[in-house]
A and B are shown apart, each in its own frame.
Chain A
Amino acid sequence: KQEVTQIPAALSVPEGENLVLNCSFTDSAIYNLQWFRQDPGKGLTSLLLIQSSQREQTSGRLNASLDKSSGRSTLYIAASQPGDSATYLCAVRDGGATNKLIFGTGTLLAVQP
């Protein structure tokens, strides 16, 4: 059974710092991996999608990497801003027939001005 873990559970950094969020999964037979952010009381916003054949994806100040063989992904945020404060979730799509996304429990990020 696929399990997704995110470390740390919470992180507080001063504005301007670069930071890395970690995601690990137990079954490397994934179809793809997505990073989301969730603001309080809101739904999820997709940030980056990495296919199983890819190593990384970039969007603006965000860079996500994928090492499928070791079951790990990282989300790198450069030059953090207070507006980046949110919960960040990673989710893996199983490679089997179900196609469902299995979510981690998230990292709560606070960027202090």
Chain B
Amino acid sequence: GNSVTQMEGPVTLSEEAFLTINCTYTATGYPSLFWYVQYPGEGLQLLLKATKADDKGSNKGFEATYRKETTSFHLEKGSVQVSDSAVYFCALSDDGGTGRRALTFGSGTRLQVQP
């Protein structure tokens, strides 16, 4: 079956530090890969996605590259802000973009950015 593994948190950084949250996956075929963010008291929001190998998803200064050879989709940001403090979830979907199947999520990584 499908699975997603991400680094355990919490990750604590100072403002303007470089962020990497590792994510690796196991899936049959060619899944789509996602990063979701959950701010305190809010629902999950799509941060970025990539649908095929070597695609780079980017949004709000975050980026992640779909690496088929290493089955990875690591999240990076060059300079984090206090407002980036949240829980980040890596996820995959193998429904070919139809949305007919649920997502498989990693366990989430809490990011705490200190001023």
- A, B: real partners: no
Name B's A-contacting residues (CB within 8 A).
none
- Contact surface of A with B, Cβ cutoff 8 Å: none
